[in-house]
Structure 1
Amino acid sequence: MSEKNGALAPTGSACPKKATELFYVSHPKVERAMLGPFLSQADAECGREVLRSADAVVTVCFVDSLDELTYWHAVNNGQVCRAFAGPGSPGVSHG
């Protein structure tokens, strides 16, 4: 928080982040996406790998903008799925 015009104001941008697509992991037997959102297809592929189901697929949803909560949720989902997918999985860097 910072002071602005004598009142406390939140720091940082309140503007939504620009994004063109979010990725999800879906399964034909489930009505809604099982995992997601993800910021990259590679992270979603890690999520698909974590599910260990041959029928799981990566889907994309196009968006105009991304609020801060959804952005950080997507960042966290990617990190968690990369950690569980392990080395050798799509999107997991070696180094």
Structure 2
Amino acid sequence: MDLESCLLIPRKGTPFAAEIAARNAIRKAMEQGMQRANVMIKGAGVGGDAALRAILRSGIVLGFIREVTHMPHNGCSPGPVPEVWVA
């Protein structure tokens, strides 16, 4: 796949766009001689799954696959409760 066809892909959070981005990253890494990689996936969604499938199909050796999505400790504090006046 040449670079010109990648420029036509809109920047959306779709699995197809994630797969193309992963393929381009792997191709550039392998051109520089990289043979092993560690994968860290951030965020929930189908984009991470599609990117991981593209990496696995590329033939590069994976050291580890880690999920690094942030988890809230206690969440945001609730807002103020509105006062209700009864006449």
* TM-score normalised by L of structure 1: 0.28
Q: Higher helix proportion, which one?
A: 2
Larger Rg belongs to:
2
Q: Higher strand proportion, which one?
A: 1
